[in-house]
Structure formats: structure tokens, C-alpha cells
Structure 1
Amino acid sequence: MPDLLFLAQRLPYPPTKGEKIRAFHELKYLAQWYDIHLGCLIDDPDDRQYIDALRPLCRDIYVGQINRRTARLVCLGGLLTADALSVTYFRHRGLIDWVNTVADTIHPAITFVYSSNMAPYVLDLPNTGTTVVDLVDVDSEKWRAFADATKGPMRLVYRREWRKIAELERRIARHSALSVLVSDAEAALFARHNPDCANTIRGVSNGVDHRYFDPGPQYPPPYDTTRPNFVFTGTMDYPPNVDAAVWFAGEILPLIQASLPAAQFHVVGSNPSPEVRKLQQRDGVFVTGRVPDVRPYIAHATAGVAPMRIARGIQNKVLEAMAMARPVVLTADALEGIAAVPMLEAILADSAADFAAACTRLATTKEGVAIGTAARRRIISNYDWQVTLRGFDDILCPLVPQAAVQAEHRSPRLQRAESRH
């Protein structure tokens, strides 16, 4: 099969957090038609145990190790250069050399880049074939939002990052045969920023593994289920998640507890920041850190919550809770890109008072059962990965020999991988 160079900022496995979920399913999808040469980075030593899980999908793999503390110090040096700090963080000499070797010796037909941070590895590099970049979100807008919400010196840092990432995104749009984003809304925004490249910008939605996130099994309760329990999942050092958790715990939960004193808020996810850990000092707030399985927390929740005030793209936490047939209370930012009908398949609430009222209503009525049932039905209909990834069919299929894209001519490598995943 044709060769494809796949670059990702982190090892795309296990598919348990946003960037890894999408990257893994794209990798698995592309393995139908290509021999994959995967280059990625690890900044969490715990991820090394998962490298072998990806070998059935790839012809070869290069994994560069990053020390988080060192990388953060090095990336501060980017303030003295023209580079974005996030790009500097993910720069790795060994990966640069490996990419150059693949380009010189393999001459891949396709280079598929996951995230803008990895694009500098191949921008202007010869012998990389047709380049497709999955930007996922318009990251420059995220940094602009951070700047708007921050005071002091960090505001200047965020504003600089916004400008630098916007410059990089413009380079990517001009260089790439296709720029892919996680939703039509993000794609439209990116096209407005880059109108001269609008015809090479596409939206391809996330999906969710609804066979894994299945409400059917009996999950052991991880907390007292006689109380109202509201669950928020995600990587808990990611600033938008930190902001959401702090807002819910500080402003929304007290309103709920005014009428439901036993109500509890569970913050479930890896790497909780000091600000998030401090929330445990509040009555009824629990911060779990990394858990082996988020499904029991979702399955027994009165509701999943996504109180996002800074958000880009599609929130996997919302799709997962919907797949588990749980009602979700969320802001308009968290609903972006998800085709859920407000008040029928999810509950929309943008103010603290409305958010608290919705949570209280779900804890005191049977309304959540119908909403959760409708939510799962929506997921199965619209967000199966095999449905959403068809958005790549007219992007990548024409770039390979027609015989390679016939469904019956599936790669033995992919067949072995599917038996494991």
C-alpha cells in the first residue's frame, strides 16, 4: 500500500482523552489504505507502556521522549525568538531527524499531521507528498480567549501566543492540500481567517465509541448514589477545564446546594492543577485525579455537566455522557459542533442561575431519563466513528490507487489491529 507519514504531538493511545481519541481513530481509519509511519512524542512516562498497542496499525513507529519540566523551561526561550511557545514545547531533535529520514528514503505519498504544533516538522520539507493537517480547533482563537480572560503579565504571553499561532495557521492553510477541523463551525471560522484557502478547508466531526460507552453493563458505584451527583470529566490541567470546574464549584454548586444540601460535584480526570485540587476544600466537591475507567462515574451521575466558558471544537466529555444515556447540562460553547436538540437531547444553560436550576430539576424529577435516552439515540445515529470519518472519504480516498480503497481489500495489518481494539 502507499506510504503515509503520520505525525502527532502525543502518542495516540490509549484513546481516553480528547487529542488521543481523535488521533487514534484517524490512525486506525487511515490504516485501511496506507502503510503508516507514525512519529509522535511522549511527555508522560506512563504512556510508554502503550507503544506496542499501536504496532499492529503501523509499519514503523518513532516515539520521542520529552521531559515536561525541561520542555517548559526551554519553551520559555521562545519568547526571545519568532516561535510560538507551544511549538517550541513540542520540538524534538530526534523526531526532526526521523521525519527527514522518512521523507528522504520513503517519499510518503501522504503526510497527515495531527495538530498545528506538529506542522513545522514538515512545512517546506520536500518529499512529503500531499500534506493534510488536522488542526482540530482554531487554536489561535483559544489563545485569544485566554488573553481576554487573563490579567497581568500572562495576558501579554497569551496575546503573543495568539498572534504566533495565527501566523502558523496561515502558513498551514497555504502549504497544505487540505486543512481539517473538528466541526463545520470551526472550519467556517478558519475559512474566514484564511479566505484565499477556503476551498481546501473541511470539517470532519469527532465520534464516540458508543459500544464502549454503553449504559447497559452494571458499573460499581464510585460514590454515594443516594445523593445528587454531578460529574465533570476531562484532563484537569487544561485551562478551559480548570475554568469550568472552578466556575461550577464556586458559583453553580452553592446554588444547587441551597435547595439540595447533599448535592456533590465530582471532577474526574488526570493531572488536576493546584487550582482544581483546592476545590476539594469546598463541601461536596471531590477531585479524583486519573481513574482507570470514567464510565462508572458517568453511569451513576444525576447529570454530566460541561460548564465551559472557554471552548473550541467538540467536547468529547459531552459525547461520552450522551452515549451513556445521561442527561447533560452544558453551555452554548460546549454544545458547539454537536447536533443535539436543546432541551430534548441536552439542556442548555449559560448563566450560573440557569445551570443550577437545570441541575436541580434533573435531581428532583424524572426528566433526565427521557433526555438521556434521546441523547444516546442521537449518538448512535450521528456520532459512530464509522459515520463521522466518512468525511475523509472524498479527502483521502482519491489520493490512493482505486484498488486500495475497496472495502473488501482491507489491510491484514488493520484486521489484526481490529481484533485488539
Structure 2
Amino acid sequence: MAKRRALIFLHKQPYPPSDSTKFRVYHSVIEQLAEYQRDVFIVTWEKANPAASAQLRSNGQFECYSLPLWQVCLNILKRAFSLRPWQVEMLYDPAIEQRFRALAEEADVIYVHTLRLGRYLEKLPLSLRRKVILDLNDSIARHYVRGWCSYPLALRLPVLLEGIKFRRYERAMVKRFEHVTIVGEDDCAYVAAREEHKRRPVVINTAVPSRQSYPAQLDADGELNLYFLGNFHYFPNREGIEWFLGKIWPQLTAQIPRLRFYLIGDAPASLRRRFRALEGIEWTGFLPEEELEALLGRMHIFISPVRIGAGIQGKIIEALFAGKPVIAAEEATLWVRHFPMLERLISRASDVSSWKGALEQILAHYDELCAELRSEQVRSFLERSFSIQSVGAHYRRLADAIIGRMPPAPHTTSTSAR
């Protein structure tokens, strides 16, 4: 018997899974829908990646349309006064839409990531809309409306306008589709208030690697190693690091001289040059897995100064898997309240005194916190909530509901009550 067909419609190449979103799409969607023939259809501004093409062709058909930058910019300019978000307009091509419709007719399930591909979905008849799992990822509107003032001055007005457009567009598209997913309870509430929608999106947690715990011995007189792991080309990461190194770090090290801060991940040369005079900073660049594991064995506390963004910070969950207490910027940790078990393990800070206080509090209870992170209760909770398999199970349930194997998935996956 021929396999059922799942059409995976994306705006980025998911392989290699080099960031948290690609990681979830590749490992928790594409790999977890193994019972299906997985046909991947991509419309992107990225250059074609031969390694990605070869890997994705092993699962089914593969097509990738890499739009040149001039076409992306022209699409935005031609529709500058559109009520749709510019990011929805920039990837649209009528000829590609016809090809997508043909593939959609043949598919049993259609997974779409994200609303940047919304124009391709607007004209779908009800018979095809019922096949769609629309993955919002997170609320772009919430990200922009809450964080526009943190962007460079020249970008603030466009970001705010884009946020307002996305707010309208997200809510309209959620009403049109039966199977919608989103990362995080707060983002779900933002796009679909209970009183406005009969069906809320299915809340999906971010998926992270299930790392082993890497205990680090804390010497009272030795260095205290802090670290951040992420892509520094990503604006929220870069903005947070620039703020932390410029405003917090100099005063923090003046009071606690034994601090060392390791910044792990690909970083622009301009960012490294800007802070090269700071003491106690080490830029490692991107590290292969073996080198990363060796370094984690020497790290004591994970630092996340990221202040803007939406959804759940996968980098924080990954640090908890690695057995590291966390200090994070208060603005980006609202989601933690939905996971009471994690609140004691994630300290929040906003200014120099609160960062210093959080450090001192963790150091006073360091062995106790590390033991709790290694406990079976916490480890099983993390696995149950954020592992590749647990997140993938929600997509499998949605796909099975679409083809009639089982009832629809419950429309929340919050683990706050567990």
C-alpha cells in the first residue's frame, strides 16, 4: 500500500537544522512524520543548498525556489501600501502558487511554516484548507509590537507598522484554518483570544536536543564561567548581547572580578571588534558538538540577555537540559510562569543590581540547584515537554486527525498543571 503523502511547505531550508526553528521543523516535523512520503516544497530568499537538497530528497519529492534578492525587494516595493505584511508579500509568485496548488491537491496532509507563505494559502478552497497544519511558529505581531523600540532608529517605524499588519493578518488566518499551531501560551493568547475564536491554536513547545547533564565543579576562589549559546547574526540575540556587554558586564565584573563570559556561536566581526577591549570575554565561534560538550563541562551558569522576541527561548531549555542554572533578561521570560517547575531554576534580571543579586543567589545554592537539575523529576519533565519526540507527537496527532485516523489533538499542550 502506498504511503500517505505529506507536503511540507517552507520558507527556509530546514537542513542543516542550525537554529531552533529549523531544528524543530526538521527533527519534530519532517523526521517524526516518518509514516508519510514527505514532499518538501520551499520558496525562499536563501541560496540553494546542495546538502539540504540531497538530504530532503531521501524522504520524497523536493522542489526549492530561491527568489533572487531583487525580486524579493521588488515584491515589497510593488505592494508597499498593501494591508498584508511586507514579509507575506515578498515571497509571492503567481507561477509558484499554481505549482503549490497542484501539489496540494495530491497531498493528504499539508504542513505550512509560517504565515510568510500566507498569500499561497488565501485562495485555497475549504477542501484543501482542511488538509493544512498552519504552523505560526510564534506571533510575529507580538514580537514586533512589543519590541519595536529596541530596533535601530531607522527601522522602528517599519517594524511597528509590520507588527500592526501582522496582528490583523494573524488573527484573520487563524479563523480560516482548522489546524493551527503556535509556540507558547502567551503567543497563542495574543493571536486568538478565547472570546473571539471558537478554536484556539494548538500550543506547541519548542524542541531542543536532549543533552546529558554536564556538571561543572565550582571553586570558591577560581573563575566563574558564564556562557551564552546562539547565532549572533540574529537580531534579538545581537541586541541583547550588545546591551549586556555595554551596560551590565563592565559594572558586574568590577564587583565580581573572577567572572568569565563565553560567547558561543557565529558572530559578526564588527560585533567582536566593538567589545574587544572588555576583560573576561571569549568569543569561541561556532563549535562542533564534541568541542561544545567539552566546553559545557567547564561552564557554571547560562546567561540570556535577550530582551526581545516571542515564544519560548529554546536556548534556555537547552541549558537546563545541560544541567546549568539560568539567569535571563526579565523582558523575555514571561513564558516561564506557565512552567512552575522551572521557575526556581531560571532567575530573572533587569539592571546591574538584579544581575548581581541573581548571581549571588545562585552561588549560594549552586550545588542544590545543580542536583535538582540532574534529578529524575526535572529531567523527565524536560523530556516530556521539550524533546524532539514529545513535540513531534503533537504534529503526528494533527496529521492523523486530518486523514481521519483519530480525533483532533487537544488545543493546548501546556504542562503548567503537571
TM-score scaled by structure 2? Answer: 0.81
User: In structure 1, how many angstroms separate the alpha carbons of the residues matched to 2:157 and 2:170?
Assistant: 20
Is 1:229 the counterpart of 2:230? The answer is no
Mark the CA change 1:61 to 1:275 in structure 2 (over 3 Å): closer, same or farther.
same
User: Counterpart of 1:103?
Assistant: 104
User: In structure 1, how many angstroms separate the alpha carbons of the residues matched to 2:86 and 2:282?
Assistant: 33
User: Counterpart of 2:352?
Assistant: 352
Mark the CA change 1:182 to 1:301 in structure 2 (over 3 Å): closer, same or farther.
same
User: Counterpart of 2:9?
Assistant: 7
User: Counterpart of 2:30?
Assistant: 28
User: In structure 2, how many angstroms separate the alpha carbons of the residues matched to 1:91 and 1:273?
Assistant: 33
User: Counterpart of 1:248?
Assistant: 244
Answer whether contact 2:6 2:39 (CA < 8 A) is retained: yes
**How far did 1:314 drift?**
1.0
**How far did 1:28 drift?**
3.1
**How far did 1:10 drift?**
0.9
User: Counterpart of 2:141?
Assistant: 140
**How far did 1:63 drift?**
1.7
The aligned amino acid for 1:287 is: W
- Equivalence map 1:255-274=2 (5 Å): 255-270=251-266, 272=268, 274=270
**How far did 1:350 drift?**
3.6
- Equivalence map 1:31-180=2 (5 Å): 31-41=33-43, 43-45=45-47, 47-56=49-58, 58-67=59-68, 70=70, 73-74=73-74, 77=77, 80-82=80-82, 83-91=84-92, 95-103=96-104, 106=106, 108-126=107-125, 128-130=128-130, 131-150=132-151, 152-180=153-181
**How far did 1:303 drift?**
1.0
The aligned amino acid for 1:27 is: V
**How far did 1:84 drift?**
2.2
The aligned amino acid for 1:402 is: R
Structure 1 residues 282-313: Cα deviation after superposition (integer angstroms, max 9, x where no partner): 22233344333344444432211112321311
Mark the CA change 1:365 to 1:327 in structure 2 (over 3 Å): closer, same or farther.
same
- Which secondary structure does the structure 2 equivalent of 1:341 belong to? helix
User: Counterpart of 1:18?
Assistant: 20
User: Counterpart of 2:414?
Assistant: none
- Equivalence map 1:308-319=2 (5 Å): 308-319=306-317
Of all paired residues, the percent bearing the same amino acid is 18
User: Counterpart of 1:379?
Assistant: 382
User: In structure 2, how many angstroms separate the alpha carbons of the residues matched to 1:141 and 1:276?
Assistant: 30
**How far did 1:169 drift?**
1.0
- Which secondary structure does the structure 2 equivalent of 1:36 belong to? strand
User: In structure 1, how many angstroms separate the alpha carbons of the residues matched to 2:272 and 2:239?
Assistant: 9
Structure 1 residues 230-280: Cα deviation after superposition (integer angstroms, max 9, x where no partner): 211222222221221122212222233123324222222235484565233
User: In structure 1, how many angstroms separate the alpha carbons of the residues matched to 2:35 and 2:278?
Assistant: 52
- Which secondary structure does the structure 2 equivalent of 1:59 belong to? coil
Unmatched runs of 5 consecutive residues or more in structure 1: 219-224, 406-421
Mark the CA change 1:63 to 1:271 in structure 2 (over 3 Å): closer, same or farther.
farther
User: Counterpart of 1:416?
Assistant: none
Mark the CA change 1:304 to 1:43 in structure 2 (over 3 Å): closer, same or farther.
farther
**How far did 1:208 drift?**
2.3
- Which secondary structure does the structure 2 equivalent of 1:80 belong to? coil
User: In structure 1, how many angstroms separate the alpha carbons of the residues matched to 2:303 and 2:187?
Assistant: 22
Unmatched runs of 5 consecutive residues or more in structure 2: 409-418
User: In structure 1, how many angstroms separate the alpha carbons of the residues matched to 2:254 and 2:364?
Assistant: 14
User: Counterpart of 1:395?
Assistant: 398
Answer whether contact 2:32 2:389 (CA < 8 A) is retained: no
Is 1:292 the counterpart of 2:288? The answer is yes
Mark the CA change 1:281 to 1:70 in structure 2 (over 3 Å): closer, same or farther.
farther
Mark the CA change 1:122 to 1:152 in structure 2 (over 3 Å): closer, same or farther.
same
- Which secondary structure does the structure 2 equivalent of 1:123 belong to? coil
**How far did 1:118 drift?**
1.7
- Which secondary structure does the structure 2 equivalent of 1:203 belong to? strand
User: In structure 1, how many angstroms separate the alpha carbons of the residues matched to 2:128 and 2:223?
Assistant: 56
Structure 1 residues 198-228: Cα deviation after superposition (integer angstroms, max 9, x where no partner): 4142212123221xx223699xxxxxx9632
Mark the CA change 1:283 to 1:250 in structure 2 (over 3 Å): closer, same or farther.
same
TM-score scaled by structure 1? Answer: 0.80
**How far did 1:335 drift?**
5.6
Structure 1 residues 73-117: Cα deviation after superposition (integer angstroms, max 9, x where no partner): 44652662414232244446774453133135x2x2322111111
Deviation larger for 292-301 or 362-371 = 362-371
**How far did 1:13 drift?**
1.9
Mark the CA change 1:198 to 1:385 in structure 2 (over 3 Å): closer, same or farther.
farther
Answer whether contact 1:62 1:95 (CA < 8 A) is retained: no
Question: Over the residues paired in the alignment, what is the CA RMSD in angstroms?
Answer: 3.3
The aligned amino acid for 2:315 is: K
Deviation larger for 324-333 or 271-280 = 271-280
Mark the CA change 1:216 to 1:71 in structure 2 (over 3 Å): closer, same or farther.
farther
The aligned amino acid for 1:15 is: P
User: In structure 2, how many angstroms separate the alpha carbons of the residues matched to 1:233 and 1:287?
Assistant: 11
